[in-house]
C-alpha cells in the first residue's frame, strides 16, 4: 500500500536559508527552485511510496529542519519513527533516499499558485489569479500586473485602521477574460511568509504594517490591544486579526524566523510580526527600570500557551538608533 509525504512547514529551529540550501542538495535541484517549492508549504512532495521509504524521507527532511507528515491509506497504522529503517548519518547532500527524484514534482497546494523571489532580503511575491477570481492586496504594494487585471479600491478597517497610521484602503485585483499574474513588492526590505487559513480554527494576529495580500475569503479586522499592551509595548495600539479560508501573505523587516511555542516564550516587542490565536501575551520589562532605560533592551512580550510566533530579525527602532550617531550636526558659531 502506498503513502504520501507532505511537508507542513519549517521546524523553527533552523535558519530558513540553510534549510533551503540543504533541501536543494537533498533533491539535487537549484536553490532558487528549492525556495520556490518550500514557499508553497503545506505541500505533498512524493506519492506512491511504501511505509519504510516514507519514513526514510521523513527522517531526512526532519533532519534538515522541516516538519513532515506521512499520509497513510485509510485504516493503516504507520510504523513509529523509532522502528523505521535506519538512516545513515551521511552529509545532507548524500542523505537522499535512492528513490529521491532528480526534480521536484508539481506542488499539490490549496489556494492560489504563487512564488516568492528575492528572499530573504528583498522578497517579491508573484501570484497567479485564476479567471474571474480576486486577490486583496495592501495599498501601493502592486509592482507589476497583466493588462487584463481590473483594480478596485475599498475601505478597510474603519477608524481603527486609520489610527494605526497605515493606509485605510485595500486594493482588489480581479482577473477578467482569463488567468492573470500580479507582482507584489512590500514596502519593508525583508522576507515574506505565507499561511493557508482553514476556517475559524486558524486565526492569526499581525502587526499593523505586516499585511501584504490575501484571498478575498480571508476576513481582516482591526483589533484594539488595550491601552496597557499598546502604549507600553512601544508598538501600535492595534493588531490585524486575520481569519477565514484562504491564502494570507505578510512581510517582515529583515529575515523571518518561525517559532513553535509550547509553554512560555519571550520576544522583544519590536521583533514580533505575527502570532496565532490561543497564545496569551503580556508586556513586561526584561529587568528593573534601570535596565529599561540604560540597557538598550526595552520591553518584551511574554507569550504563554501553545501556538506559533513569527519574528523578524531586524527592527526599525534599532536601525534609527544606529543611524542616529551618523546624522549631520551643525557646528555652533
For residue range 240-257, list pLDDT tens digits in order: 889 999 999 999 988 889
Q: Is residue 329 part of a domain?
A: no
Same domain, 227 and 299: yes
Same domain, 117 and 215: yes
Q: Is residue 201 part of a domain?
A: yes
Same domain, 79 and 181: no
**Boundary (domain end) residue, out of 34, 61, 94:** 94
- Is 80 exceeded by the pLDDT of residue 75? no
- The 10s digit of each residue's pLDDT in 87-106 is 333 333 333 333 333 333 33
- Nearest-5° Cα angle at 158, 153 to 163: 110
Domain count of the chain? 2
Same domain, 20 and 81: yes
- Is 90 exceeded by the pLDDT of residue 8? no
Q: SS3 string of the chain?
A: CCEEEEEEEECCCCCHHHHHHHHHHHHCCCHHHHHHHHCCCCEEEEEEECHHHHHHHHHHHHHCCEEEEEECCCCCCCCCHHHCCCCCCCCHHHCCCCCCCCCCCCCECCCCEEEEECCCCCCEEEEEECCCCEEEEECCCEEEECCCEEEEEEECCHHHHHHCCCCCEEEEEEECCCCEEEEECCCCCECEEEEEEEEEEEEEEEECCCEEEECCCEEEEEEECCHHHHHHHCCCCEEEEEEEEEEEEEECCECEEEEEEEEEEEEEHHHEEEEECCCEEEEEECCCHHHHHHCCCCEEEEEEEEEEEEEECCCHHHHHHHHHCCCCCCCCC
Q: What is the pLDDT of residue 9?
A: 85
Instruction: Calculate the alpha carbon distances from 303 to 9, 23, 114, 190, 299 in Å.
Output: 21, 31, 32, 24, 13
**Boundary (domain end) residue, out of 64, 94, 124:** 94
Q: Is residue 330 part of a domain?
A: no
Q: Which of 126-135, 167-176, 196-205, 311-320 has the highest mean pLDDT?
A: 126-135
Same domain, 76 and 221: no
Same domain, 226 and 278: yes
- What CATH number is given to the structural domain containing 41? 3.30.1390.10
Q: What is the pLDDT of residue 100?
A: 38
- What CATH number is given to the structural domain containing 199? 3.60.160.10
Q: Is residue 328 part of a domain?
A: no
Q: Is residue 77 part of a domain?
A: yes
**Boundary (domain end) residue, out of 62, 94, 126:** 94
Q: Is residue 99 part of a domain?
A: no
Q: Is residue 102 part of a domain?
A: no
- The 10s digit of each residue's pLDDT in 140-151 is 899 999 999 999
Q: Is residue 12 part of a domain?
A: yes
pLDDT band at 332 (very low <50, low <70, confident <90, very high): low
Same domain, 126 and 266: yes
Terminal C-alpha separation, the chain = 86
Calpha distance 213→322 (Å, rounded): 31
Higher model confidence: residue 44 or residue 163? 44
Domain limits for position 15: 3-94
- Is 60 exceeded by the pLDDT of residue 72? yes
Instruction: Calculate the alpha carbon distances from 229 to 71, 206, 237, 319 in Å.
Output: 42, 15, 7, 23
Q: What is the mean pLDDT of residues 58-79?
A: 72
Same domain, 146 and 82: no
Same domain, 58 and 147: no
The residue length of the chain stands at 333
The mean predicted confidence, pLDDT, of the chain is 76
- Is 80 exceeded by the pLDDT of residue 108? no
Q: What is the mean pLDDT of residues 260-279?
A: 89
Same domain, 184 and 89: no
- Residue 19 · residue 63 · CB < 8 Å: no
- The 10s digit of each residue's pLDDT in 159-190 is 444 454 455 678 999 999 899 999 999 988 99
Indicate yes or no: pTM above 0.85.
no
pLDDT band at 69 (very low <50, low <70, confident <90, very high): confident
Same domain, 59 and 121: no
Of the listed ranges 18-27, 154-163, 202-211, 260-269, the least confidently predicted one is 154-163
pLDDT band at 289 (very low <50, low <70, confident <90, very high): very low
Same domain, 210 and 175: yes
Please report the sign of the dihedral spanned by the C-alpha atoms of residue 285, residue 288, residue 291, residue 292: positive
Q: What is the pLDDT of residue 80?
A: 33
How much of the chain exceeds pLDDT 70, in percent?
A: 71
Q: What is the pLDDT of residue 225?
A: 55
Other C-beta atoms lying within 10 Å of the C-beta of residue 102: 7
Amino acid at each position: 500500500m502506498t503513502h504520501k509525504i507532505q511537508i507542513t512547514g519549517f521546524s523553527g529551529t533552523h535558519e530558513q536559508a540553510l534549510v533551503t540550501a540543504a533541501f536543494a542538495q537533498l533533491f539535487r535541484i537549484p536553490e532558487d527552485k528549492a525556495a520556490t517549492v518550500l514557499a508553497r508549504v503545506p505541500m505533498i512532495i512524493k506519492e506512491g511510496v511504501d511505509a519504510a521509504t516514507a519514513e526514510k524521507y521523513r527522517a531526512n527532511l526532519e533532519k534538515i529542519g522541516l516538519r513532515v507528515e506521512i499520509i497513510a491509506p485509510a485504516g493503516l497504522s504507520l510504523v513509529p519513527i523509532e522502528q523505521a529503517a535506519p538512516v545513515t548519518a551521511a552529509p545532507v547532500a548524500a542523505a537522499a533516499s535512492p528513490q529521491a527524484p532528480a526534480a521536484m514534482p508539481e506542488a499539490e497546494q490549496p489556494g492560489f499558485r504563487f512564488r516568492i523571489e528575492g528572499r530573504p532580503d528583498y522578497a517579491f511575491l508573484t501570484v497567479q489569479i485564476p479567471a474571474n477570481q480576486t486577490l486583496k492586496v495592501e495599498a501601493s504594494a502592486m509592482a507589476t500586473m497583466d493588462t487584463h487585471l481590473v483594480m478596485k479600491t475599498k475601505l478597510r478597517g474603519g477608524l481603527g485602521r486609520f489610527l494605526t497610521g497605515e493606509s485605510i484602503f485595500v486594493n482588489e485585483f480581479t482577473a477578467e477574460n482569463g488567468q492573470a499574474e500580479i507582482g507584489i513588492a512590500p514596502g519593508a526590505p525583508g522576507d515574506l511568509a505565507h499561511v493557508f487559513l482553514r476556517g475559524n480554527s486558524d486565526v492569526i494576529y499581525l502587526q499593523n504594517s505586516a499585511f501584504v495580500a490575501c484571498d478575498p475569503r480571508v476576513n481582516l479586522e482591526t483589533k484594539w490591544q488595550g491601552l496597557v499592551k499598546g502604549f507600553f509595548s512601544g508598538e501600535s495600539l492595534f493588531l490585524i486579526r486575520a481569519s477565514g479560508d484562504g491564502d494570507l501573505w505578510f512581510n517582515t523587516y529583515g529575515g523571518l524566523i518561525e517559532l513553535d511555542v509550547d509553554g512560555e516564550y519571550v520576544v522583544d516587542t519590536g521583533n514580533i510580526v505575527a502570532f496565532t490565536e490561543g497564545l496569551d501575551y503580556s508586556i513586561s520589562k526584561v529587568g528593573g527600570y534601570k535596565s529599561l532605560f540604560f540597557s538598550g533592551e526595552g520591553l518584551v512580550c511574554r507569550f504563554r500557551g501553545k501556538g506559533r510566533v513569527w519574528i523578524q530579525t531586524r527592527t526599525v527602532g534599532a536601525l534609527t538608533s544606529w543611524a542616529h550617531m551618523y546624522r549631520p550636526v551643525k557646528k555652533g558659531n
